[in-house]
Structure 1
Amino acid sequence: MYCWKSHLYDIKIVKKEAFRMKKLICAFLLAFLLIIGCGKKDDSKIVAEIDGEKITLSEFNRELDKIPMELKMFVATQMGKRNYLERLIMKRLLIREAKKENIEKEKEFQERLSEIKDQLLIEMLLKKKLVQDVKIDEGEIKKYYEAHKEEFKKPEEINTRHILLKTEEEAKQVQERLTKGEDFIELAKRYSIDPSAKTTGGEIGFHPRGSLVPEYEEEAFKLKRVGQVSGIVKTRFGYHIIRLEGVKPPSYATYEEVKELIRQKLIQEKQGQLLENYINELKKNAKIKVNEEIFKEEKPSEKESPKSPEKPKK
């Protein structure tokens, strides 16, 4: 049997609980805002002064924000920020000196400034008209990948280890010790003049053809089995003894490896087509007159044909 009194009691409890939660949330938000307020840096703080000219924290942070994403790692630490401040101070000093020299009023400066403005206008226009309209979906990327797999073929790569010696005599001595069964890695760490050999044991990693010193590469790719050791190889760095460590046969880059590369390529192609269409539309709606006479090739003047030599008189 339905009891309305019980239902009303439940409603009161719910309302009371809701009011209690509301108070808790408000208290939490107030505390959170107070914490943020206390922790917030004073943007009016002076970071540096140059003859009384102040660089505030907010100005400095704006300069940091202009740094491209791929370079932000260099200012991620306090030392990085301090070094960047030095660059900013240098920039301000140079600008001040340029103004003292009235560079801004020089004809060349004004001409170049005009060119920069024009270029920036074009870039901003194209960004507004073209960039935002380009969308590439996953299907397009996959379709391109399947149709152009040869573009993503990886050549054969080999991993080698070497011992680099200064003289041929030293190389022969090490070679002899190898033939007696001494450990290649230990000899590389001990005798190689390659600075990295102390930690790598002479290993240089996987490389395709065309990425190594020619003489070294030629001998390295002749090695057919892992563990095989070459003869002495002379390069401009010295005398090498090479050991084959591994072989990667030719293969194709996976879809995931090249997906973003393909996306950027397709975006550029679409943007190029959109730009061409946009330019054609602008031309169509403009009255353009060109004096083609100026661009006509001049006909070479007819040269006088050489006179025939007179016959000798009898």
Structure 2
Amino acid sequence: MNKMKLALVATGAAVLLSNAALAQNIAVVNGKPVPQARVDALVSQVAKQAQPGQPPMTPEQKAELQKQARDQVVLREIFTQEAQRRGLQKSPDYLQQLELSRQGLLIRALFQDEEAKRKINDTDLKAEYDRLRAQADAKEYRARHILVETEDAAKKLIAQLKAGAKFEELAKKNSKDTGSAENGGDLDWAAPTNYVPAFSAAMVKLQKGQLTDEPVKTENGWHVIRLDDVRETQFPPYEDVKPQLEQRLKQVRSAEFVEDLKKKAKTDYKFSTEQH
């Protein structure tokens, strides 16, 4: 009698375990179960691709995403089984792509692990902010220019300007730099380092409202420059640029990590100077 009770208990336990396993599957395709975990992984992958600042999904959107993910996972299982039935998993191309995918996943995991070990804190961000601020130019300049093909054309424009012609009108009619020409040659506020050396050198020598007496030659052509104003550099507040600072530091540390691994690796391969 006791043996019969034990057998019944064992049978009941097996049924419960079987039901639990089925509950973790979303479908069975040709006898093979498709686990819910695949759906969860796909949904998680989609969530990670969301842009910063994007509003959270509504319950309706989440339900729709789950439904689409289930469809996709089951369809992929059908495709996979058909490919295996044809023996495509043994093809050289598949095996090569599989190895590349395996490497890619491992490399991504490696960089995620390294980033987690070297968390960026406020002290790091503030130090980077102070460093960049110290490197910034002390002054910003607001200039206008007219860019033309030849020195003679530039000299004629200078003569017209000295005779009373309006800079803005001549820039709109003559400048090859169509972006600034539409605004009368206005280049907005910028540090001297934003321009090529020859342009910067000529610009910083000017007084407010002054025009270059001679055309300025650069690789782009010949410039007529007028300086409209000068001010102290307007560096953005720390809180406004924290996200950019964090992204910059992540990139710097990632590059350092790459260089460190390259130095440690025992290899006879010589990397080109362009590779990082």
TM-score scaled by length of structure 2: 0.48
TM-score scaled by length of structure 1: 0.44
Structure of higher CA gyration radius: 1
